[in-house]
Amino acid sequence: MAWFKRDKKGIITSTEEKKEAPDGLWNKCPNCKKALHYADQVENKYVCHYCGYHLRIGSKEYFSVLFDNNQFTELFENLHSGDPLEFKDNKNYTERLQESYTKTGLKDAIRAAHGKINNHDLVIACMDFNFIGGSMGSVVGEKIARSIDYCIEHKIPFLMISKSGGARMMEAAFSLMQMAKTSAKLALLSKAKIPYISLLTDPTTGGVTASYAMLGDINISEPGALIGFAGPRVIKETIKKDLPKGFQTSEFVLEHGFLDFIVDRRQMKNKIGTFLQMMKS
C-alpha cells in the first residue's frame, strides 16, 4: 500500500501548474524523453504522439477528453476530509491535507461530475493521483457512494476512473471500510441494472483494486497501466525473485482474464459511447 509517488516514471504536473511555469509550454515524455508541446498534448488526448505513451492525467483532463464539449456539472464538490483519528506521523494529517489543497487546487483525490458522452448521460467519478497519491479515504468513498445513489436515482450509467496507490493510511480503518461501502453501493447499482464501467488507469493498486475498480460490468484500461493488488516491490520482497517483464501491466491483467479490453485514450470516448448505446437499445 504505497500511496506515495512511484519514482520510476515522472508524474505529469497538472495543467494549471504547467501554464504558470516559465518553461510550461512543453515537457518531456517520461517514456521516449521527447519534448511534447502542451497544445499537442491536448490535441492528442495526453498521449505521446511519438511513442504512444499515455501520460498520467487527472480528473480535469479526463473530463475534457470524455465529456461532450467539456461540459459537465460537478457533483458533491464541497466534501472535505475530516481527521477522525487525529493522525500524526512526522506531520499532522490536517497539515498534509492543507498542503495538498494548496499544491493541487483539489479538495481530495476524487472528483465526480454529470455530463454527456456522445450525447449519452453519464456520471464520471475520477481519481486524482496528485492528491496524496490518489489514496482512498472517507471523501473518496463518500463521493463514489453518493455518485452511485445519484446514478440510481436518475437512471444514469456510471464510469469510475481509478488511479490510486490504495488506502489512505492516515484514515486507517475508516479508509479500509470505504472498500466495503463502495462495494455495497455497487451491489445496489447492479440490482438496479444500471451499467457500471470501471476504467483502471496507471496506477491502480491496493484496496482500490480490491473493491470498486474490479467490480465493473466491464473492466477496461489504457495501454501500459500498472494494475495490481499488492505493489510490485512487496511481491518481489515476498517471493525473493525478480518479477517477469510486463508483470501487472494492463496487458498482463487482460491476458489473465480480469479486463474486458484495453483502449487507446484517443479512441476511448467513442468506444465507451458505443457501449452505452448498446446498453440502451
Partner 1 sequence: MNTTFDFEKPIADLQGQIDKIKQVSEKTKVDMSETLTELETQLARTRKDIYSNLTGWQNVQISRHPERPYTLAYIEMICDDFIEMHGDRTVGDDKAIVGGFGTLNGETVMFIGHQKGINTKMRQYRNFGMANPEGYRKALRLMKLAEKFNKPVVTLIDTPGAYPGLEAEERGQGEAIARNLLEMSVLQVPIICIIIGEGASGGALGIGIGDRVLMLEHSWYSVISPENCSAILWRTWDFKERAAESLKLTAENMLKNKLIDGIIKEPLGGAHYDPATMASTIKDQILKDLHKLRSRDIDTVVKERIEKFCSMGVVVE
Query: Which stretches of the chain bind partner 1, using CB under 8 A?
Result: 1-4, 78-85, 87-90, 137-139, 141-142, 145, 167, 169, 171-181, 183-188, 190-191, 206-207, 209-215, 228-231, 234-235, 238-239, 241, 243-244, 247-248, 256-258
CA 89 to chain centre: 26
199, interface contact from Zn ion, partner 1, none, CB < 5-8 Å by kind: none
> Cα–Cα distance between 107 and 58 in angstroms, integer?
13
Residue 51 interacts with which of partner 1, Zn ion, none, CB < 5 to 8 Å by class: Zn ion
Min dist CB 268 to partner 1, Å, is: 22
CA-wise closest residue to 229 among 188, 159, 179:
179
Q: Which is nearer to partner 1, 156 or 234 (CB)?
A: 234
With contact defined as beta carbons under 8 Å apart, do 120 and 155 qualify? no
What letter does residue 132 receive in the DSSP assignment? G
Which member of 35, 39, 42, 51 binds Zn ion (CB under 5 A)? Answer: 51
What is the DSSP pairing of strand 72-75 with strand 110-117?
antiparallel
Interface with Zn ion (CB under 5 A), residue from 32, 85, 192, 243 = 32
Q: Which of 1, 12, 47, 48 binds Zn ion (CB under 5 A)?
A: 48
Q: Residues 6 or more apart from 23 whose CB is under 8 A from it?
A: none
29 touches, from partner 1, Zn ion, none (C-beta below 5 to 8 Å by class): Zn ion
Considering the complex, what minimum distance in angstroms separates the CB of residue 219 from Zn ion? 26
Return the SS3 of 205. Answer: coil
Q: How near is the Cβ of 204 to partner 1 at its closest, in Å?
A: 9
Distances (CA, A) of 247 to 168, 203, 232: 25, 13, 8
Using CA atoms, how far apart are residues 161 and 67, in angstroms rounded to an integer?
13
Selection from Zn ion, partner 1, none that 11 binds (CB < 5 to 8 A by kind) is none
Q: Kindly list the residues in this chain that would bind Zn ion in the complex (CB under 5 A).
A: 29, 31-32, 48, 50-51, 53
